[in-house]
Amino acid sequence: MPENRNTIRLAGLLGLGVAVAAALLFVAGAGAAGYGGVARYGGAVWVFILAWIITMPMLGPALRRRS
């Protein structure tokens, strides 16, 4: 059972990293396109939440198969 907890924790941390990277890319892209602060940061929060929700279920089983 401890391996399962570690896998879930690792999937959460990796998903968090992917979500943060996606949000930072969104802020950079929206800034380069000339959008204002509310659109940039509000969109970054939206992208962060969606990216984390999408990557969590994908990373757990993939890491479990790999270990």
What is the band of 15 on the pLDDT scale with cuts at 50, 70, 90? very high
Question: Does the pLDDT at position 1 exceed 60?
Answer: no
Report the alpha-carbon distance of residue 9 to residue 45 in Å, rounded: 22
Across the chain, mean pLDDT equals 90
Backbone phi and psi for residue 39, each to the nearest 5 degrees, phi listed first = -65, -40
Question: Does the pLDDT at position 17 exceed 70?
Answer: yes
pTM above 0.75, yes or no: yes
Give the pair of three-digit tokens for residue 45: 């929060």
